[in-house]
Each structure stands twice: as C-alpha cells, then as structure tokens.
Amino acid sequence: MSRLVMKFGGTSVANLERIRRVAKRVGVEVANGHEVIVVVSAMSGKTNELVGWVRETSPLYDAREYDAVVSSGENVTAGLLALVLQENGIDARSWQGWQVPVKTTSAHGSARIEEIPSANLDAKFSEGMKVAVVAGFQGISPEGRITTLGRGGSDTTAVAFAAAFDAVRCDIYTDVDGVYTTDPRVASKARKLDKIAFEEMLELASLGAKVLQTRSVELAMRYNVRLRVLSSFEEMSDNAGTLVCPEEDIMESNVVSGVAFSRDEAQMTLVSVADRPGVSAAIFGPLAEAGIVVDMIVQNIAEDGRTDMTFSLPVDQVDRARTAMEGAKAAGAINFHDLIADTEVAKVSVVGIGMRSHAGVAAQMFAALRDYGVNIKVITTSEIKISVLIDRKFMELAVQALHDVFELEKV
C-alpha cells in the first residue's frame, strides 16, 4: 500500500473546527487507499506563547528545558487530531518525536535530523493503523533529551518522513493555495505556478519567500521527494496547489519563474581596509563566530593599498556585527578607517532555471530598474538567480517592475 505524507501548519489546526476539517481531508486520502503520515504544527500562536513563557521565566534559560516546553504545542495538536480521526472511524494514533523515534543532533533549538527508523510505524501500519499523526518540529538527541528543529521545522519533519518511508508525495498544507510568481500582496498580477523546480524553490525560499522552509526544500531535493504546496482552506482536487519537483518533470520553463524579496536587510561597509592576503578571513571569521549571516559581498578596487569591503546581513544582526568588527580591530586582526551601516535597504531577486540557457536577463533586469529610477547598491548572481540590494523605499516598485518586464503573469 502506498504511503502519503500530509503536513498541516498552525493556521490549518488553529482550533477544533479546523482540526475537524483536517481530519476530513485525511479521511479522503485514507479512502483513496493510502497509509497516511500526518505531520502537524502547534496551533496558531501557541509556539510564540510558549516561547514567551520560557523567556519570562528565565532570560538565560536552559536550552534543553526550552525544547521540552516549546515542543509541547505540537503534542497537543497531534493528540487532538488523532482523537477526531478515531471519532470518524479511522484507526489513528499520535506519535511524539521520541516515540517514532526521530533521531537528531544535540543542538537544542536548532537540531538536525540524522535518522528516522521506520520499524515502529511499520509495525503499527501492519497491524491495521491507517494514520500516524506525528508531532512536527521535534526529535530526540543521542542523550535521550527532547530537541526542536528551529522555527518552521515541521516542514523539515514532513519531508524527512516522506524520504524515510518512501512516500509517493509530501503535501504541505498552508494558508496559501500554492507558490506564486511573487507575493500577491505586492504585485496584484502575481500568478500561481502549477510546477516549480527544486532549485528554483530553494532559491526563492532562501531569498525571502515564506511558503516553504529552506531546509525542507534542501531535503526534498536531496532525496527527490515530490512536494505539493496547497491550501487547507480550498476544495481538494488533483491539480490543486503547486508541485515542487525535479527540473526534468517540467516540460518547458520560463526564463524567470519568480521575483523574491527581503525587507529585513542591512548593508555594512568597512572603509579603507588594508588590501592584503588574509584580510577577508580576518573580517568574516569574527562575523561567523558571532553567528552573523553574511550574504552579498563586494570588495572595491584597491587604491594605495587600501580597499572598502561591503556586505549585506539581516538588519537585526547589525549591532552584533558592529561589535564583532570593533573587537577584531581592537585585537589588531584588522584595521579600518570607518564602519558604515545602512539599515534602510532591501534585497530583490529574480529566479529561474531558464537563465542557464538565455542571455540578457541581467541587462533586462537592470534596464527595468533604471527606467523606474531605482538605484542598485550591490549585485550578486548565481546560475539561476540575480539579486540586487536597493533602498527599501523602492522595494515594492522594483518587485512590480520586474514582474511586469519578465511578463510573469503569463502562463
């Protein structure tokens, strides 16, 4: 019998009425002949509430107890859904991470899945269980402690189960009905995609699209797990949502598939840094040690043995980055004349596997931004994406302009 993984996010299980709707959807798949593994998040808002309680109790909290508390939201949802399924006449059982078990690393709060043995669930399926309701976002460390996978970790849990149990597909139910060419709230012409390649989805997720967690897409691509993103509030149909799949499953791709953006960006420049071997390591080593996520990097042409180094980073990490750089300077590791931070920038990117075989995408993108008076501060590229850093006040204008110039509203 085929296995299907269904994942439901917090808004899909926000109350008992919605949990009953989820149970009906699961029941349809059971009737279609699937053995179903359902991965659930905590009810909408519950994880934030639990995190708040931990921080209020202890500002310098024990990460192991943090995981014990915060993981409980998913346990409640799993138990409630299993009860509703049982009331509907479906043989279902809830499973916490340690019961499966979902074996993870010991990095509390950001653990990574290492293995999901199938024996326990396989045994129950063979005994007649039709649905295993698994608490997402959690696992168990080698020391036997509960761990959590980081925010959005239920997506990763679902994909990992689909890979471990050789599922025909992993359906991710959210409050949106698929993956769009860009955020419809920014560009009214945004169009829902029927299919998108793993690589494109990974780029969009990493560049600011909130539909799927980046780690879940990485895992799906590595194990070739077909994902379907769809809404738990829309009617079920065979062509609902967006299928995330291998590139070869897409007949013909547009040059550009989507426009992604991130508002919460900052730009930092170290002015007049010595241009010598090892200076980059001296800068980015301390930033890495401080947990700063650096993205776009530009080094100006050296003049008189000095250069400027510019990079982008999340806006909420600016103060930590400044402290790290001042510390490195005080220790004599680097020397710079000034440190300038611009916290009013945004990143806008175009993504598409069609860029591999089409020239002129960058020229078309830059011309469109020029025509709308948008100045580019930093540029980075990869094989299937082009990203620019611009003033944040022009972000929505830039997204709309690029969506129009690449005619993404057309099928």
Binding site for ATP: what residues are annotated?
A: 7-10, 174-175, 180, 185, 210-211
CA distance 369 to 390: 10
Binding-site annotation, residues for substrate: 47, 74
Q: From residue 44, how far is each of 10, 14, 174, 258, 364 by CA, in Å?
A: 4, 5, 11, 28, 42
CA distance 408 to 411: 7
CA distance 260 to 196: 14
Q: From residue 98, how far is each of 123, 131, 212 by CA, in Å?
A: 16, 18, 25
Q: Is beta strand 92-95 parallel, antiparallel or unpaired with respect to 131-135?
A: parallel
Instruction: Tell which phi-psi region holds residue 64, choosing left (phi > 0), alpha (psi between -120 and 50) or beta.
Output: alpha
| Among the listed residues 234, 220, 262, 216, the one whose alpha carbon sits nearest the alpha carbon of residue 176 | 234
**Residues constituting the chain:** 411
CB 33 within 8 A of CB 2: yes
Q: What is the CA radius of gyration of the chain?
A: 23
The Cα angle at residue 226 between residues 158 and 236, in degrees rounded to 5: 80
DSSP per position, 69-123 = HHTHHHHHHHHHHHHHHHHTT--EEEE-GGGTT-EE-S-TTS--EEE---HHHHH
| Among the listed residues 152, 168, 174, 161, the one whose alpha carbon sits nearest the alpha carbon of residue 132 | 161
Terminus-to-terminus CA distance in the chain, angstroms?
36
Binding-site annotation, residues: 7-10, 47, 74, 174-175, 180, 185, 210-211
The Cα angle at residue 39 between residues 38 and 42, in degrees rounded to 5: 130
Can you read off the two tokens belonging to residue 317? 């990490």
